[in-house]
Amino acid sequence: MDTATSVECGREVRFRRSFRSLVECMVPCCGFQPSVLVSNDNESTHVSSSTVTGTFFGYRKGRVSFCLQDDTRGSPLLLLEFTVPTAYLAREMQYGLLRIALECDKHKERCSTTCSLYNVPVWSMYCNGRKVGFAIRRQMSVNDAAVLKLMQSVSVGAGVLPEEDGDLMYLRASFERVIGSADSESFHMLNPVGSSGQEFSIFLLRS
Strands 122-127 and 130-137, sheet pairing: antiparallel
3-state secondary structure the chain: CHHHHCCCHHHHHHHHHHHCCCCCCCECCCCCCCCCCCCCCCCCCCCEEEEEEEEEEEECCCEEEEEEECCCCCCCCEEEEEEEEHHHHHHHHCCCECEEEEEECCCCCCCCCCCCHHHCCEEEEEECCEEEEEEEECCCCHHHHHHHHHCCCCCCEEEEEEECCEEEEEEEEEEEEEEEECCEEEEEECCCCCCCCCCCEEEEEEC
| Per-residue pLDDT tens listing for the chain (207 residues) | 444 443 334 443 343 443 444 433 333 333 333 333 333 344 444 567 789 999 999 888 889 999 999 998 889 999 999 999 888 887 887 776 789 999 998 777 566 667 889 999 999 999 989 999 999 999 999 999 998 998 888 888 888 888 777 888 888 989 999 999 999 999 988 876 655 555 689 999 998
The whole-number pLDDT of residue 13 equals 37
C-alpha–C-alpha distance, residues 102 and 31, integer Å? 13
pLDDT of 53 reads 94
* pLDDT the model gives residue 49: 79
Q: Is the whole-model pTM more than 0.85?
A: no
